[in-house]
Amino acid sequence: MTESQLRPPPLVEPAPGLTNQEIRRYSRHLIIPDINIEGQRRMRNAKVLCIGAGGLGSPVAMYLAAAGVGTLGLVDFDVVDETNLQRQIIHGQSDLGKKKLDSAEESIKEINPFVNVVKHETFVRSDNALELFRDYDLIIDGSDNFPTRYLVNDACVLLGKPYVWGSIFRFDGQLSVFWADHGPCYRCLFPEPPPPGMVPSCAEGGVLGMLCGTIGSLQTTEAIKLITGTGDLMIGRMLVYDALEMKFRELKVRKDPECPVCGKNPTVTELIDYDAFCGVTPDVADAAAQSQLTPKEVKALLDAGRDVAVIDVREPHEWDIVHLEGAKLIPMNDVVDRVSEIPQNGDVIVMCKVGQRSANVLQWLHSIGLTHVKHLAGGIDAWAREVDPGLPRY
């Protein structure tokens, strides 16, 4: 890695002088020789877009605001839910039910009223990403899904903008800065999205709350270094954090000359929506669509006194939180070994949390001839929503 790759010039020109009030507010930055008043003026002129006001977006937005970034764009479409509060620290109890954008804006204004907050209430899509990103100096990704990551990467490559990437799962975090003009992009590392159905969503995988703070703070650090031209960037490097072992490792990321978007002969020349990749394969979706029962239909069977075998394919620790009375636990990965426990006829229903794992299990059971098996659409989440509101949600 050459010096020019690790240390590109500052991304942002300095704003005119700071007011006395700003000088006081940012004094602990101004007395760091490598930042000084010029770096602070660059921050004031900076326009940063943060995708998502959730787990990573919370610390990112709060620290960017406190640091004095002039314009902070936020992209989100969600409302604050109780399950968010364990990690999304920009929101609080009194924000439940509010739009995340509004809740985040209130917190940001409380931290630093000088920040101009721009709210984009939308999904990032192939038909809006370029326009959304165009006015910003850099993009920070706080999303938790692959379709958005590929879209953000490709849009950043096409626009020549740096992409500060972070990802979190359970106890593991990752970080890098992708900037095709100075080093590799995300697709140099992961050319294509993972196979459909192989990716647990954040809602199913879980994440240690404070991991968001660790990775989000590191993303913000890289953003401030990019803006001010300070230090060595994470370009061409990936940080891998294991909170259980409390270890940070670093991997080299090389620019791939054959990269589908930033290589010599790019095949990705416009943005693609990868909606299908996060859910299930078309085969699985097909099997599920033809053999699913709604919670109300399942309840009607049970109420009618039918002998229904309900097979729960979630994990034991999920079962311990909540399960349906009379159901049988066979975790998804044990289904092949324990297939003999699944009744060969009658009413058999597989279920999970949201209906994704059960759809995969269903397709496999059908493929070995157990075509009488059906699955519970929407899983225990839908069951709690539609027929038993007293059940705990997780």
* Residue 145 backbone phi and psi in degrees, to 5: -145, 155
Q: Which is nearer to Zn ion, 55 or 147 (CB)?
A: 147
Q: How far is the CB of 188 from Zn ion (least distance, A)?
A: 4
Q: In terms of CB distance, is 152 or 212 closer to Zn ion?
A: 152
**In angstroms, what is the minimal distance from the CB of 259 to Zn ion?**
3
Which 3 state secondary structure label does DSSP give 278?
Answer: helix
Q: Which is nearer to Zn ion, 138 or 351 (CB)?
A: 138
Closest C-alpha among 156, 150, 226 to residue 193: 150
What is the closest distance, in whole angstroms, from the C-beta atom of residue 158 to Zn ion in the complex? 12
Report the distance separating Cα 220 and Cα 234, nearest Å.
12
> DSSP class of residue 194?
P
Which residue in the block uniquely carries the two structure tokens 């106890």? 171
Q: Tell me the closest approach of the beta carbon of residue 173 to Zn ion, in angstroms.
A: 22
Is residue 140 within 8 A of residue 178, CB to CB? The reply is: no
Catalytic residue among 156, 202, 259, 262: 202
Give one DSSP letter per residue of 289-357, joined into a string.
HHSEE-HHHHHHHHHTT--EEEEE-S-HHHHHH---TT-EE--GGGTTTTGGGS-SSSEEEEE-SSSHH
Q: How far is the CB of 256 from Zn ion (least distance, A)?
A: 6
Q: For this structure, is 352 an active site residue?
A: yes
Is 259 among the residues known to form the active site? no
The alpha-helical segments, DSSP class H, found in 33-183 are 36-45, 57-67, 100-111, 129-134, 146-159
Nearer Cβ to Zn ion (92/191): 191
Q: Which is nearer to Zn ion, 2 or 340 (CB)?
A: 2
CB-based contact 229:46 (threshold 8 Å)? no
End-to-end CA distance of the chain: 45
- Which residues form the interface with Zn ion (CB under 5 A)? 185, 187-188, 259, 262
Task: Considering the complex, state which of residue 262 and residue 373 has its C-beta at the smaller distance from Zn ion.
Answer: 262
Nearest residue to the partner Zn ion, using Cβ? 259
Beta bridge partners of residue 309, listed in sequence order: 348
Q: How far is the CB of 221 from Zn ion (least distance, A)?
A: 23
CB 157 within 8 A of CB 262: yes
**Would you please indicate which residues are annotated as catalytic (active-site) residues?**
202, 352
